Amino acid sequence: MDNPQDLDIGIVGLGVMGENLALNLAGKGFAVGGFDLEAHKRESFTARTVGKPARAARSLAELVAGLRAPRKLLLMVPAGAAVDAVIADLRPLLAAGDVVIDGGNTRFTDTQRRITELADTGILYVGAGVSGGEEGALRGPAIMPGGDAKAWPLIQPMLQAIAARADDGKPCCDWVGPGASGHYVKMVHNGIEYADMQTICEAYWLMNQLLGMPAAEMADVFSQWNEGELSSYLVGITADILRYTDTRSGEPLVDRILDTAEQKGTGKWASQAALDLGVTAPTIADAVFARTVSAVKDERVAASTVLAGAETKVFKGDRTAFVEKIRRALLAAKVCAYAQGFQLLRAADREYQWDLPFDTIASLWRAGCIIRARLLEDIRKAWGRQPDLANLLVDEHFARLMAECQEDLREVVATAAMHGVAVPAFMSALAYYDAYRSPRLPANLLQAQRDYFGAHTYQRIDCAGKFHTKWN
């Protein structure tokens, strides 16, 4: 690469994700430049790319100067102020027609603001959700780009070349839509991920607490589940985790890990978006709340000595049959979580007029990403059959599946409640399913209450209009 303008793409931010994406690109034959403010990361990049079409730059200006026109840059820096700072430094170095891709976990509202701020520069801005973690970045992630459509022909060959491939050979990367749609889709992906992880944790906890199953036995169960309808990346790694032995204690490592969980905010953003757009997404929100309650470990320990609960956690029924009921309950809860995620997508599509391709989005999640699962092929087919589907639950395939599994979900939730085992995601999934299938709900009383104390009026079932009553 002797020509000073010989780079196909520049990557700003050479952390784990940025460096591995660079290696992925270089491995596919693209000439890659990298820059990071930290010298040791530039040195690591140089060491890992020996013999590949890649080099580190000592400054942003040097990186930009080495790019072919129109120049293409991928930002892999922490979301928030760091992205704004990099954009501010890049603006005077770039020209109309150049492309800036934000590949971080950026809040979609920030992406929309940046698109607006760059509108008069001619710089083409893309918000691209990237999922798959460290391994995915290196071997093939799922990528969800959206923004200025003029950028897509310029970046499509590179992004699709490094993306994961589904079983049908299609790349798990395609154009999502205008504006901040790419980062919104990634946010919804992460919201579903939160719910997916929590439901799996609840299935594990039921087997642990009610059936007293050791980690190795549960590992075998999850391995079996991973061969059927529940086949997914998260179920597979759960089996691996449960089978792993701690070298220090000789016990299953999972039993030595503190029961608190952190979060980076994307699940919270998805829950907030649901409230802002008036979307029912309780399983996603309860998965976030499950993490927040796990964080107050000292309070929970203290409360356990004060608060009453179920008299016993000993399950006296058929153990094998109950494990199968947990499997079907998990499947039903996962479907409800996906349904809520796609409702979030539908609401944003109406609000922002993005014209989102729901079947394509499901297709992008079939490989590479954290929520990749066998279920997603059926979801893709559902949206392909009926692009205006009101809710995934009413698709013929998923309606039939829920009919087969809903009684098991009820029994598992009831058993957990009677034995004092917290399963908030299972419970909220069941409540979501029952509420959505109910032709009448108690909101008639709620309307009357609002009218009573605030004169907010109410609607009637027998005539049109708004009404107010003097209740006393």
CATH number at 31 reads 3.40.50.720
Residues 281 and 377 in one domain: yes
Which residues form the domain of 230? 187-436
Q: What is the C-alpha separation between 197 and 337, in angstroms, rounded? A: 11
Would residue 174 be called left, alpha or beta, if left means φ above 0 and alpha means ψ between -120 and 50 degrees? Answer: beta
Closest by CA to 433, choosing from 347, 329, 344, 310, is 329
**For the chain, which ranges sit under pLDDT 70?**
1-3
Statement to judge: residues 148 and 46 lie in one domain: yes
- Rounded distance, CA 417 to CA 407, Å? 15
User: What's the pLDDT at 418?
Assistant: 95
Q: Is residue 472 part of a domain?
A: yes
Rg (CA), the chain: 25
CA distance 469 to 454: 11
The answer on 209 and 78 residing in a single domain is no
Q: Is residue 1 part of a domain?
A: no
Which of 98, 97, 28 is closest to 63 using CA atoms? 98
> Residues 378, 464: one domain?
no
How far apart are the C-alpha atoms of 70 and 93, rounded to whole Å? 12
- Pair (166, 210) in one structural domain: no
Which tokens belong to 292?
Answer: 């927040």
**Same-domain check for residues 239 and 381:** yes
Per residue in 205-261, pLDDT tens?
A: 999 999 999 999 999 999 999 999 999 999 999 999 999 999 999 999 999 999 998
* Domain identity same for 257 and 123: no
The position carrying tokens 């809040």 is 107
End-of-domain residue from the set 147, 179, 211: 179
d(CA 306, CA 308): 7
pLDDT at 3: 53
Alpha-carbon distance 334 to 233, whole Å? 13
Tokens of 411: 């029994």
CA distance 9 to 26: 10
Round to whole Å and give the CA distance between 460 and 439.
16
Give a yes or no: residue 2 inside a domain. no
CATH at residue 339: 1.10.1040.10
| Residues taking part in catalysis | 186, 193
If asked whether residues 267 and 140 sit together in one domain, one would say no
Domain count, the chain: 3
Other C-beta atoms lying within 10 Å of the C-beta of residue 448: 13
